[in-house]
Amino acid sequence: MGKSSKKKPKELEAHIQMALLHYVKKVNFKNTAGEQIFFDKNGDIPISLDILNWQLYPNGSNQYIHIGRFDGGAPEGSKLQTDESKIMWNGHNHPPISVCSNPCPKGFRRANRQGQKICCFDCVPCSEGEILNPNDTTECLKCPEDQWPNTLKEKCVPKPIQFLAYDEILGSSLASISIICCLLTFSVLCLFLVKHKTPIVKANNRELSYLLLVSLMFCFLCSLVFIGRPSMLTCMLRQIVFGIIFSICLSIILAKTINVIMLFRATNPANTKMRKLLRLRIPIYIIPCCSLIQIVICLIWLSSSAPFDEFNMIAEIGTIIIECNEGSKILFSCVLGYMGLLAFISLIVAFLARNLPDTFNETKFITFSMLVFASVWITFIPAYLSTKGKYMVAVEIFAIISSSAGILVCIFFPKCYIILLQPEMNDKKYITGSRRT
C-alpha cells in the first residue's frame, strides 16, 4: 500500500498535464493586434516575425526598413513574403556577386578550381546534345536520342524531322518539273498519233515509239513517289517502280535498235532468212523478256529483304531524317546494275549500226540518248553518296528526270522538228536517202 500511495501523485500530475494539453490544443483566438493565436499539434505557437533590413546611408545615418514577414501559421508556400525592391545590399539595390567568379551563362556548368575556395570556378560549356542540370550547376545532362538542347541549353526539345516534302521549294520544284516533262511527253505522243501515217513516224516501228513514249511518261511520274514523308509502302514502291519502268524503257530502246538493224538487213534480196525473222516480229519479244528479268530481281528483293522506312538520328546533328532503308544493298545494286547492262547493250548495238545507209537512221539518236543516260547515272553515284537526308533523294529524282529527258530529247525531238518545222523532209524518198537535198 505504501508503494501504491507514492505513485498516485505522479499519475495525477500526468493526468492533469494530458487534460491541460487537450484543452490548450483547442485554444484559438485573436489578440488585440488582430493576430490569430493558436497552438499547433506539438503545442507550439506558430512564429510570426517581421523581417527588417538595416540600411546605412552615405551621410552616416542608418535605418531599419521592413522588407517582409515570416508567418509560421500561413499555408505552405506563402509563409515567407519579401519585397526585394526595398532591400539594400551594402549600399546597392542588387545582390553582391562572387568575389572570385561571375555566375556562369546559360548552357555552361561550373567546374571548381582545385585548391581554391568554392566561390572560385571556371565555366565549361556543355557538350553537344547536353543541357545544364537544373538541380546541379556543376554537371550537364545528355538529352534523349530523339531530342536536342534548345538555344540556351536549358531544356531538351524534340528534334526537327526532315524529309523531302511537297510543301517546300525543292520538293515542289522537282514535282513541277516532273509533271511538265510528263505533259511534254504526252504532247509528243499526241503529235505522233495525229501524224501516224507520215513516213517519219512510220520509220523504225511506230508501235515501239508509242510504247516508248508511254514508258517515258511513267518514268517522269515515278519520281513523284520519292517526294513526301517516307512510309513502308512508299519505300517499297520507290525503287521497285523506278527499276521496272526504266527496264521497260531500256528494253524498248534495245528492241528499236535491233529492229533498225533487221530492217536494213531485210532489204537485201539475198537475205531471205532475215525477212522471215522480221515477219515474226522478234524485237517485240525482247521487251517482255528483258523486263521479266528485272521483275524477278525485284520480287526476290521484296521477299527477302524489302526496303523500309527508318529514323536516322546520326546523319545530321540535331535532326531526325526519315529515310528509306534499301534493305538488301546487294539486290538494290543488282537492280541498278541490270539497268546499266541494258543501257550498255543498247549503246553498243546502236553505235555499231550508226553508219547504216539511211538519211534518218534512228540508231544515231539512240546512241546519243544512251550516252546521256550513262553520263547522268555515272555522275549520280558520287553525288548520291556525298549527300545526306532530303538532298540525297533530290539527287536521285534529278537523275531520273535528267536521264528520261535525255532519251526524250535525243530520240523524239529531231522527229518533232521535221514534223512541225520541216514538213518537206517528211517524205519517204528523203528518209530512205534516195533523194538529194
Mean pLDDT value of segment 162-178:
92
Tell me the pairing of strands 161-162 and 320-325: parallel
pLDDT digits (tens, 9 = 90+) for 38-77: 776 666 666 677 888 888 887 878 888 888 888 776 777 7
Question: Do 256 and 205 form a contact (C-beta atoms < 8 A)?
Answer: yes
Task: Please answer whether residues 251 and 287 qualify as being in contact, where contact means their C-beta atoms are separated by less than 8 angstroms.
Answer: yes
Give the pLDDT of residue 259: 77
Whole-number pLDDT of residue 436: 42
Once rounded to an integer, what is the mean pLDDT over residues 74-101? 75
**Best CA proximity match to 416, nearest among 179, 201, 178:** 201
pLDDT at 312 over 80: yes
CATH architecture, range 169-432:
Up-down Bundle (1.20)
Among 76-80, 209-213, 394-398, whose mean pLDDT is lowest?
76-80
Give the CA-trace dihedral at 350, 352, 357, 358, to 10 degrees.
Answer: 10
Q: What is the mean pLDDT of residues 364-368?
A: 85
Assign 435 a pLDDT band (cuts: 50, 70, 90). very low
Among 218-232, 269-283, 307-321, name the one with the lowest average pLDDT.
Answer: 269-283
Which residue spans of the chain are classified as CATH 1.20.1070.10?
169-432
Those residues whose C-beta lies under 8 Å from the C-beta of residue 354, and which sit 6 or more positions away, are: 361, 363, 364, 367
Cell readout for 202 is 512510220
Return phi, psi of residue 355, to 5°. -100, 20
pLDDT in tens, 244-303: 999 999 999 988 888 777 766 655 555 555 555 555 566 778 889 999 999 999 999 989
214/219 Cα distance (integer angstroms): 9
2 pLDDT band, cuts 50/70/90, is very low
At 433 the pLDDT is: 55
Give the model's confidence band at 409: pLDDT under 50 very low, under 70 low, under 90 confident, else very high: very high
Residue 393 has pLDDT above 60, yes or no: yes
Question: Which residue has better confidence, 202 or 253?
Answer: 253
Q: Rounded to an integer, what distance in angstroms lies between the CA atom of residue 85 and that of residue 65?
A: 11
